[in-house]
Structures are given as structure tokens and as C-alpha cells.
Amino acid sequence: MTFAVHGLPVARGIAIGRAVLVVSSRIDVAHYFIKPEEVDTEIDRVRTARNAVADELAKLQTNVALMGPNDAPHELAALLEVHQMLLQDEALTGGVKHWITERLYNAEWALTTQLEIIARQFDEMEDEYLRERKADLEQVVERLLHRMQGTAAVLAPSPPRRKRSASEDDDDPTAGDGIDVPLVLIAHDLSPADMLQFKKSVFAGFVTDVGGRTSHTAIVARSMDIPAVVGARTASQLVRQDDWVIIDGDAGVVIVDPSPIILAEYGFKQRQGDLERGRLARLRHKPAVTLDGQRVELLANIEMPEDTVGAVKAGAVGVGLFRSEFLFMGRESQRQTRLPDEEEQYQAYKRAVEGMQGMPVTIRTIDVGADKPIDGKAASKQEHLNPALGLRAIRWSLADPAMFLTQLRAILRAAAHGEIHLLIPMLAHASEIRQTLSLIDFARTELDSRGAVYGNVKLGAMIEIPAAALTLKTFLKYFDFLSIGTNDLIQYTLAIDRADEAVAHLYDPAHPAVLKLVADTIAECRRQGKGVAVCGEMAGDVAFTRLLLGLGLRSFSMHPSRILAVKQEVLRADTGKLEAWAKSVLESDDPAAALAG
């Protein structure tokens, strides 16, 4: 039966494919594709874990048998027997083997996938006693997962896919089911580290139950340039493994088990989107200059050094935001040390500089906390009542000066290979600015004492806290440029948790207070002859391009996938005419309506 689930559109386009469910577990589970030659190894890992758990249960059964009835009631022995039966059940073991062999899932992913399928079968049983056995099954799988912890295989790239034959219908995505089938990811939530792993994979789109338009999961999805819907509430419970799913990233709609007519309609929309991207691609080499001759910088936001390939391909003239925290994420699943050392960071920043082929690279120092925990910090949401207002970004760095100095030394060394701008996030106090600059100087002194080669960097600050936007003159005494992080600026100005879908409707980039802070920051930088950019999601939203140009902005930093669409708006704009219009938008009681008009 066809049904639709509604959420928030965060990455545009249409995706059609089979559902792959990532099930939440009480322990962290890695999800990645293995190589065909690793299939037997993964099956052996499951078999080894199963045998070990079986031995554990057998020992428990022996101990229970030696106890008296008061110490070990009959129900306990019966429960252990049920666990042994579930452990050996062909529905579990055969299903896990299927996912490993046919889909090339790693062992842990295969286990949780099969758990979800069997658990739903238990939920549908009429007998209450049998329904309650689902909890026993979950406990058995948890035992298996614990046994496999620390033995995860090395992360592999996307699996080899068998191609369709020439005789199969390219217009029908369901044709040749099982052969080169497109996959879409369905999950309750995905961490940024998960997204980085899936970034190397084959998914055509994804859906999550939670999240907002500017949560970092959504941001990474846009950088992958695949359709995505977040805040879909119960999608991971309603969609079943292998269901056919359409993701409408424009409307924020997920259609499950679509009819042939609906499939045909969305297949047409998908092809139209491909044609539009083809038309935009022709603008790649055209300079971003307005009709009245104003040159505009279109820069790229990246998460990893390898993203520079896409940035150059999209026609970016530099990197306006390298989110360095992604170097620190997802390391435990790859059996790496928790934090990258100086040499590893230096090599990463150097690759980014070289990848941009002489164009400038702006590196933001680590910004963790809130919806971006790093390994070992995953419990931060439980430990702090409001992590978005807690120890994050520069506060976290200043609280751990040894870690911060390691990063600063690596960035300074990489600056010897090309133009690097150093960007500091979430500053609000003059004392923080002075402490940060002191540590930068100390990092230089350390490099001098080692005789290490390093380069000069321009220093910049993120304007993402209202307090910073209201004390711009203090900031401009210390920094060469400012970069407006509109995602957090909106969050803090409007008191909205940008990762919470329950208040997502209140997240308003066009709120008069937000626009005033953005406009004042641009104006003050221009007055003082200092550089200013917008690097939040607003920069890549074509609905705001004309307004930002009218306010005097000449530097936009966005996901590479948005550069050509924004460039098209720039090429059609006349900033002389937009200035008066932008002023009228700021003075309007309803800027959103003025923008749409």
C-alpha cells in the first residue's frame, strides 16, 4: 500500500530506490560496505561471536542447574534456554548471512538489520507471550554485538555493483530488481561521522526521523549533493527493509511503496532535475560578475581534504570554510587514535591547500559539541542540559590548550604550501580573543624553537553569536576578516535548537533581527575595509542571493553543489538596483514576504 511521510526538505532533488534501514542500537554499531573477498571473513566473525555467546550461555545454564530453587528460579533456566534457541535460529543466522553475502553489509550492520526484520514479525504476533520474546531477541543480538566490539574490519569503499544489461528498461528503477538497484538510507538519526562514512558509499538519498534544516547531518547531506529529508518523525519505524521509496528533497516528502503511475511521475521529475544540472554546468568557467560589473567570490565549504576535487569542479575560487572537526570524527570505528596528531593534521591541511591549486583555503579550528560530538564525547548531550550553549567550539579548544596548540601548529605549517586563512569559531568575549591570539603566538614560538618551516595566515573570526555581532568594532581591532555563520547566528538570535525538528518551523533566516545583524556586520566591515563573507546555509540559498548582494556582500561560501545555482543569480543581478530594494526588505515588517514579492 502506498503512503507518504512528511518531513523537512534539506537537500534538493528526487531519489528512487530500495530502503536500507540503519537501526539504532544500545551500543554503537559501525555501518559500512565490505569488499566481496571479505564476505567469508565477516560471516566467520558472526559465527565466532555466536559460538562464544553460546558458550557463555551454556556456562550460565550449568551454574543455574547447580543452584537451589530459591537462588535460581525455574524461569531463569527457561529464559536461558530461549536465548540459546534464538541464538541458533536459522531466521537470525540465515538472514545475517544473506545481508553480508548479497548486500555486502559488515557483520554488525547485518545483525541489526536482521534484528529489525524479525522484531517486526514478533510485533505482529497475536500471542502476548510470543510478542514479548522480542526483548529476548534484542538481548541476544546485543550479546553478539558486544562480542564483536573492537574487531571491526577496515572501512571499505562502496561495494562493486552489477550493471544492468542493455535489454533492461532504464526508465523503470524497479526493472531488474536486485541488479544495480539504487539504495536509499533510512535511519532514526545519523551522526556527522556516520555521514562521512556513507559519503564514500552508494546511497542515492537519505531520510532521518530527527533533525532540522541546518543540523550538521543535513549540512553534510547537501555537501554530498543527494536528495534528503529530515525530521520525518516515524519514517524508520514505518519503512521496512527493501521497501521501494521515493525521496522528494524539494517538497520534504517520502513516498513508500509507490504505484507505477507515481513512479513514472517522479522518474520524469528526476530526469528534469538532471537536465537543469546539465544547463547549470555550462556556467562553471564563467566568472561570477554582476550585470553592473561587480566581481563576486563564490567559495566552497568542505569537510575533508578530498572535497577539494568537487570544489574545483564546481568552479569555486577558494575554500571559505574547511570544517576541521570532521578530521576528528569517526576514528574509533577505524581503529585510529582518538585525536589526530600534528603530523596527520598537517598532511590533511596540506592536501587541501594543494587540492585547491593555488586558491586560498580558510580553515576553521575545531568546532565540536552540540550536534557534532567526537569519539569519547558522545555522551555530551546527556551530560549537559543544553550542549549548544556549553563547552563547544573555541571554548572547547581553550579548555584543552595542548590539543588546540597541536592544531594551530599543523595549520601554520601547512600555510608554507599556499594561502591559508585561519578562522576562529564562536568567539564572544574580548578575553577569549586575547587568549586565542596568545596561543597562536605561542604556537609560532614552538615552531621557531624546532626550526620548523611555517607560513603567514590571515586571522578571521566567526560572527555567530549576537554578542559578537553587537561588538563588531572590538572584533575588527584584532582580525583581518569576519565570516558570518548564519546557521548558529539564527539559532542563538531566535533561541531555536537547529537540530530539533519540534521547533524547526520557528527557524527563520528572514527574521528581521537576523537580517539586521547580518546587514550591520557587512556594513561595518565595508566601512573599515575588512573582508567579510557569509559561510552559513544562507549563502547557498538562492532565495537570499539578491538580498545579500544588495546589502553589499561580495563573498559567499557554500557547498560546492550550490555554487552554480548561486552563480546564475549573480550573473542576473544588478547590485546598483538591488541596494534600495534590500533596504526596503530590512525595513519591512515581513521580510519573508518582501523577499518573495
User: Which residues does 432 contact at the CB level (< 8 Å), separation at least 6?
Assistant: 394, 395, 398
533 to each of 257, 328, 492, how far by Cα in Å? 44, 26, 19
Enter the C-alpha cell of residue 591.
521580510
Q: Pick the closest to residue 542 from 280, 248, 216, 308 (CA basis).
A: 280
The owner of cell 522484531 is 119
Short-list 138, 186, 511, 200, CA closest to 326: 200
Task: Give the whole-angstrom CA distance, residue 485 versus residue 424.
Answer: 11
Strand partners, 247: 15, 254
Helix extents (H) in 185-321: 192-199, 216-224, 235-238, 260-281, 308-313
Q: What are phi and psi of 442, to 5 degrees?
A: -65, -40
Amino acid at 62: T
Residue whose C-alpha cell reads 560546492 in the numeric block: 560
Burial class of 402 by CB neighbour count within 10 A (0 to 12, 13 to 18, 19+): exposed
Please give the Cα distance from 126 to 124 (Å, whole number): 6
Choice among 31, 216, 421, 559 that is catalytic: 216
- Give me the catalytic one of 31, 525, 535, 559: 535
Does residue 535 have an active-site annotation? Answer: yes
Write out the three cell numbers for 431: 578575553
3-state secondary structure of 22: strand
Q: Which residues are catalytic?
A: 216, 535
